[in-house]
Structures are given as structure tokens and as C-alpha cells.
Structure 1
């Protein structure tokens, strides 16, 4: 059986990590074997094991780890790997070097601008290695592809855009009061929720400022689900206190995303930069009303169907407050769950469509695999 090596340099929860796990898992249903290599224990390792995939763990630190390249090359030769699929800048560089050393084609996926920071250490050397060692670049949105190419960090001819996809059926669940009961929220309150690791680009500070400026008919409660970074979450808690926001709940990492979203009245994404935004398509799959910032991926996801979301300018708490207020007013008039939002995701951002995109790229590079035929609903 043809073997694909999957490589990523992060271990915690996140959008890129979920795509990494999904590919490694689902490609096994397409006559491919997955060899998964990660840097350590954590969310990724645990989730892989739960899906019957035992990862190879190679701890590696530093800007350039020769031992890691040597071990990767040995694994490629031992398992007769036909292609290396890597994610995020660090792994993309190591995959490129390993591909050059072993003659193995590399597909490298970029999930956001953080992957290709202009001030990246050893940038010139890394760019050179990737230029020679990567056969296909994948960007998770057109906007991300264009921004990266403007920096001269991708080869347009070798770049493909493949949108991230989700198991849409998993989000087809009825609204639930479980989250309200967990948080002991009054029945007459409006529950706004955000979903994304607590990191600076997510701009939860702007969201808190905006929330303090909102004026709605119902009491507002905010829930933020995402892996916390200690310094940031402490600062956010202090900010909420100073703003007099008493109903702000930091839930930490939430494993059951559909259940969390099913408990919300309104979804908000307030980032200043998103390569794509899996949380946006997850919220769409639940049919939630939403307020999003124009930060790259979200507006590309929504496209021409602007009735599916209210858009605010990034890092602008006044504009975000205005759009949140508009969304609350629409909900008060009966604008709640949307069947059109669910259909939009099914037609464009299904897991099947994502897999078909990657399998098509693999076939371009000579991998013997069958690309599934998508139904009209699963096509883009």
C-alpha cells in the first residue's frame, strides 16, 4: 500500500492540527497508508490514537535540527514513503530538506500568515530549501495564497488552493440548553460565543471593548472556547473586570465543538488575521447568526452570500459593537438558525471536498490513488 508521511510541528488543539489529523485519518479510506510524525505528546497525539493511528514522536528544538532531518529520512526509506504531506512553516522546511535528501515529493500546506512571517529567522535559507524541495504548495484560501505570493514566499505555478473542510453531518444537531445550564445563565439572556485558541491575533480584547459598548434588549453573556495562553487570559479577565462585564466565561479547550455551538444564540469571530477559519464554517454548519471581522478567510468563506453574516472591520471595537447590536436586533425579530447557512457549507466546505482536493494534488505527483467524484452538493 502507498504510504504518505504526515508531518506537523505543533501538538496542541487548533485548526491546522485538526486538518492534519483528518487527512491522516481519512486518507486510509482511499487505499493510502498514513505514517504520522509529531514533536510530542498532547492533543494531536491523543486524538490520533483515538482514531487508531499511533504517531511517531520525535522531539526536536531549535531553528535547524540536523538529527530530525536524519530521522525523517530514515523513516521515509524504511517505510518506502511515496509522498510527504507537511503543515506549518517549521515542518514545511524540514519536509523540503527531507524530500531533497530522499527524492520524495513534498506537499506543504500553509494555514495562515503566521506560517510565513517576513521576519522569520533564517528566512532566506528556509525559502531556498522550500523552493527546491517542495513540489506543491497548498494555501487554505485564495486570499492567503495571494498575500503569501506578494511576499515572494510561494511559487504561483506550484500552488493550489484547497479549502479546509469539516464533517458537516456532525453539526446537524438541534439547539441545546446544556451550555446555559452549565454556566447557570438566565433563560432571558442572549448567549454570544467565540471559538478559537486565546492568542493575540484572535483579538478578544477588541471583543470585550465592543461588548461593553453594546446596547440590547436582553442581558448579554459571552462564552469564549479555546486553549488559553496564561498571560493573555489573565489580561482579558482583568479587562473584563475593569469594563464591568460580569458575564464573561472562559471555557478553555472544548472537545465537543458541535455541542458547544448548539448552545449559542450568536457566533462572533473578531480576529485581525485568519488564513481560513474553521470555526466560521463550523458555526455556519450549525446555522448560527454570526458577526465576523474582515480578516481574510471569513469573507472568502461567505462570498456573495452576505446575508449569512454581519461584517465588521478588524481591530475596530466601535464597528464591532455596531454589528453585534445589529445582529442582536435581527435575532429579536426572529433571525435565529439558518438552513441556508448549512447548505452553503455543505456545497463548499465539506470534508469530502477537502480530501478530493488533496488527492488530486497527490495524483499530479504520481501517487496511485483514486480521487472520489463529488456530488453536486459537495462540489465548490
Structure 2
């Protein structure tokens, strides 16, 4: 067995963090070593699963201490392979891998991991190219974007779709959220799951809700996700302006996403930019019909009219897709049944873990130091 160091520089919650934790729990290896930034949802979830993380301060610009800490951890625990997530961790882990001559698997989760204006981006890309054995992207669209726009290595790049644990996400009756909101059986509940960030497009969801509610007053709307600050305040103000108070609910982050999803009649992903969308496949696994925007990765999950609906990200488009489902019950049933059947085959946790395991390479080859991670400058 090998010793794997897992590292991420965020505290969660979120889609990338969920995948990170699932890989920590599921990838083969003796006593996984986990390095994270500090306390938070990721730390709490790891501890609930009997895993004690190591804290490393990854904040700030060029953080020499962060790099030194990773090198110390690799040497102290005799790490055989590093599995890193998101741009910052990928960069520092690649440097540490070069110093320690240990292979690194770098994972990119979204278009917003970095931007063209970032300082020294060509140099950072060369470091990741040199220090990574494999560079994993969670969708083909994301892979093509990073190769063409940022110069990451096409030869080392691969796509591995995120997967969900179908022992956790599956259809079952739950009305806890509906009861909490005081909804009756006559109400159609349409919801999204995801932290409140600009890329999530919740302003368009609010405007779509206004259109839908004007035609179908029985509809209610909910967003389950962490939110604070100026963006959240602006969404609350937009809700007030649209007259949707008591109609559209922000219920904050919930520890039990399967329960939230199993309360919904329709799931919507209103994002303007999305690397993949683990919440979409979680909804599909729970047997909820999905409407997603054409925002990057979701088009690789949903085939329009087959296992869900894909729409443009404008409010009218989102509203039209949602109304099409609940106005045509046979369509909704057909979409969710097809989607449910596809999840286990293409988007299961088992399938995802197996592909990451193959990226790590044969254990004998890793333990003997026969790796191909070193690049050229």
C-alpha cells in the first residue's frame, strides 16, 4: 500500500471540498495524510470520519512557509504520492514534489480557480506542468480551457468526472424542509444547492422565479448554501424588489444535502460559469428532474431532453425550462428515470475513485520511485 498526502487550500463547504473528502476516504492507501488550511467544514467532516488533519497556513502571496511545511510533511510521513486540489495547492504541491521527487496529481475543479490577470501565471503553469505526474480536470470543457488559455500540459491532462456516493444520495421521501417553510402538498418546490458566489447566477434564478410565480402562484423556491457579505445582501435586496419575500427562501448551508434534494420537485442549476456541478448529479441520484444552464461542465452531465434540460443562463430561459417540466408531468418522470439510471454507470463514487487510482499508477512502480512526473523547463 502507498502513503498518499491529500491537500486543499480551502475550508469549505463546497463541491471541490466534497470530492476532496470522498477521495481521502476512498482512495487506497495506508493511513492517508491530510493537509488543510485550518478549522472549518472540511476539518469537521474529516474528524467525523476519524481522520485527523495537519494544519498548514496556505494564505497569502508566495508563501515559503507553506512550501516548507509540505516538504516536511512529505518527508516525515514518507509520502509516496501527493493528491492536490485547486490552483494554489496544485502549485505548491508541484514545487514540493519537485523538491522531494514525489509524484503529484493536480486537480482543477472550476473556471474560477484562476484568471488571466494573475501574476506570474506562465511561470506557475510551468511549475505545475513540471511537478505534476497527472493534471486532472473535472470536465472536458475545463481541460480544454486550461490547456488553451493557461498553457497547462495537454500530454499530462486527463478528465475525471466527479462522482457521488449512491449509498448516501438516493430517492427517499423527505418533507423536513417543506415543513420548515410551511409548505403544503399543493406547493411546487424548486431549488438549488450551492454556496452563494457570483458564478452561481442566483440573481437570474430570482428573476426566473418572478416570471414563474406570476403564472404559477403555487410555486416556491429555495437556495441551500452558505452566504454572507455584499453579494448575499444584494440578493436579499433583489428579492425584496421582486416581491418574492415569503416565496423565495435562502436557508443557508445544510449538513444533509440528500434531505434537501429529496424535498424538491425540480432542481435548478442557474450558474453562469461551472466547472462541473456535483450538486446536479446529487439531484439526479435522488431522482429529482434537473434544469441546468449551459455554463461549461453541466453540458457534459445533462443531455437536453434525455436526462434533464439544458437552457441558456438568462432568467426567461431558466423559467421556461422549469415550467416545461412541471407543466408536463410525463416529461419530468422520463427525465428523472433516465438520469437516475445513468448516475451509477457514469457518475458514481466507485467510478471516480477507480480513475484516480489509475492516475496514481501501479503501487509497486510508485514505491520503487519509477515515476514520470518530472517535466522540462
Task: State how far apart, in whole Å, the 1-side matches of 2:172 and 2:69 are.
Answer: 48
Deviation at 1:128, TM superposition (A): 2.3
1:51 aligned partner: 49
**TM-score, scaled relative to structure 1:** 0.91
What is the deviation of 1:287? Answer: 1.3
Q: Distance between the aligned counterparts of 1:63 and 1:125, measured in 2?
A: 14
Contact 2:94 2:131 in 1 (8 A): yes
Aligned pairs for 1:1-380 (under 5 A) are 1-27=1-27, 30-214=28-212, 215-246=214-245, 247-303=247-303, 306-314=305-313, 316-331=314-329, 335=333, 338-363=336-361, 366-367=365-366
Q: Against the structure 1 CA distance between its residues 124 and 217, is the aligned structure 2 distance closer, same or farther, given a 3 Å change threshold?
A: closer
Conserved 8 A contact 2:290-2:336: no
Whole-angstrom CA distance in 1 between matches of 2:13 and 2:250: 16
The CA deviation at 1:337 is 8.1
User: Would the aligned equivalents of 2:307 and 2:335 in 1 still touch at CA under 8 Å?
Assistant: no
SS at match of 1:128: helix
Contact 2:325 2:331 in 1 (8 A): no
TM-superposed deviation, 1:61: 2.3
CA distance in 1, matches of 2:332, 2:51: 45
Mean Cα deviation higher: 145-154 or 353-362: 145-154
**Is the 8 Å Cα contact of residues 188 and 218 (structure 1) preserved in structure 2?**
no
Structure 1 unaligned regions, length at least 5: 369-380
Aligned residue for 1:208, secondary structure, equals helix
Question: Aligned-pair distance for 1:336?
Answer: 8.2
SS in 2 for 1:5: strand
Give TM-score scaled by structure 2 length: 0.92
Contact 2:116 2:150 in 1 (8 A): no
- 1:17 Cα deviation from its structure 2 partner: 0.5
Over residues 62-112 of structure 1, what are the superposed CA-to-partner deviations in whole Å (9 max), with x where a residue is unaligned?
A: 111111111111111111101111000000010011011111111100001
Secondary structure of 2:358's match?
helix
SS of structure 1 residue aligned to 2:80 = strand
Give the drift of 1:253.
0.7
Change (3 A) 1:76 1:206: same
How much is the aligned-residue C-alpha RMSD, in angstroms? Answer: 1.9
How much does 1:56 deviate?
A: 0.1
What count of residue pairs does the alignment treat as equivalent?
365
Q: 1:164 to 1:332 in 2, by over 3 A?
A: closer
Q: Which stretch of the first structure deviates more once superposed, 267-276 or 215-224?
A: 215-224
- Tell me how far 1:175 sits from its aligned partner: 2.7
- Of 12-21 and 178-187, deviating more is 178-187
Q: Which string of whole-angstrom CA distances, capped at 9 and with x for unpartnered residues, describes residues 332-352 of structure 1?
A: 987488332211101101101
CA distance in 2, matches of 1:143, 1:163: 11
2:374 counterpart residue number: none
| SS of structure 2 residue aligned to 1:175 | coil
User: What is the rounded CA distance, in whole Å, between the counterparts of 2:186 and 2:252 in structure 1?
Assistant: 25
Structure-2 change in CA distance of 1:271 and 1:333 (3 Å): closer
What 5-or-longer segments of structure 2 have no aligned partner?
368-377
Greater relative contact order, per chain length (Cα 8 Å cut-off, separation 6+): 2
Contact 1:216 1:329 in 2 (8 A): no
